[in-house]
Chains A and B, each alone.
Chain A
Amino acid sequence: MGLLKLLRSLKKNEKEARILVLGLDNAGKTTILKALSEEDISTIMPTQGFNIKALTQDGFKLNVWDIGGQKAIRPYWKNYYENTDGLVYVVDSSDEVRLKECVEELQSLLAEENLKNVPMLVFANKQDLQFALDAEEIMSHLQLMEIKDRTWTIQACSAVTKEGLQEGMEWLVKTISEKK
């Protein structure tokens, strides 16, 4: 990819969309991205920085930025907000213990000036696990109904079985292209 590609993906472009994928560590962000681009998901390490994938969806080129979610590097999420067309917030639906932390991070994201009005897709991931909360429960924990300033949706999914991934991305692309 190289540094030049980083700059090209920063650039505003009518035919391309810049998607930011955020969420706590171990939510499954990188796995979702790899699953979407048909890559092997058997050995995925915690992301120490970021991964970028170019995906094509409905004739739309998506530059998808998957940002590491560990606590120490969350303060740097701001680095990537500029020119974001769509936000994907990934939740580990099986990790009830950390839902509070998950809500707090989401709240502060939604308050960001640079992400104002940016459409948001919430992936309620890991639905393949036995004790995963369903999308409706996640929705109420995250208080999504309170969001008034942007278009959003929540999609139950599993990066491992790939269930729900396409549906979510289709919604996001449709929403972004209507906005552009």
Chain B
Amino acid sequence: MNFNFNFVGRRKWWYALSLLIIIPGLIAMVLNWPSPLNFGIDFTGGNIIQVQFQQPVNASQVREVLGGLNLGNSSIQAAGNNEFLIRTTELNEEQTDQVIGALRDKLGQLDLKRNEKVGATIGRELTIKGIEAMAIAWVLMIIYITIRFEFLSGLAAILALIHDVLVTLGFFAIFRWEVDSTFLAAILTIIGYSINDTIVIFDRIRENLRLRKKESMEELVNRSINQTLTRSINTVLTVIIALLALMLLGGETTRTFALAMLIGTISGAYSSIFTASPLWIDFRKLSRERHRQAAVTKAATKAKTRKATSH
């Protein structure tokens, strides 16, 4: 198929659309400081108990039992079919046994599906390692992009990457979706993967520049994006198929991961088409403008000095 959409011409709108998601996300993170995201026990430390009762039980009954153990302020989430996810502060083994024992005694037979505890130390370690991993991934990407691209396209590619990470974080910040260690995996994968489409488009721009026809830079970039559009959309579609299958049909623990990846992947496709290349054009214009002005001032000062010396 041959497309001929004018992506570049309406770039101000695309920038605005991106900011429309990023800025509320940033605000949500600032407002919720010091917990910008809804960090789960993987980061904060604590216990999760997932139980399924064999007879009808409601959340308030569960809360009552927990209240009796001074754990009334725990988070209790009904997971359907008399199943509950109970998140508490960090408990030791005895306390955990007490909770399970009390639930069994007061509410009847139950199936203990999940019993997790993450110590505060482990949570801290994950946070530190996560930050380290992010930092290293960013440095590697920047090195790769620097080697691979000339300065201005590299800058545009990195901004597109930051865009994708911020959009993903933004959604999770606004909706307060719980974040666990797989979220970290998702963000790192997004950093690695979302650059792909950008690389493909920039490659095409470079190729077209070599055989440049009589057309403006806007037209050339537009042509490049349109030429690679089918590829960009189709590759993202297959990844989205995989992610939707994981999110809707897969196991519980990978759901957060699939959701984060889904947002990041869609944002990545969007940013490579609507943000990266238009940004490159703007940067290019700006730098040309600066060079031109520098040349003008230089010429002007030269003229001035000549004038001054001639007097």
> Are chains A and B native binding partners rather than an unrelated pairing?
no
B interface residue numbers (CB < 8 A to A): none
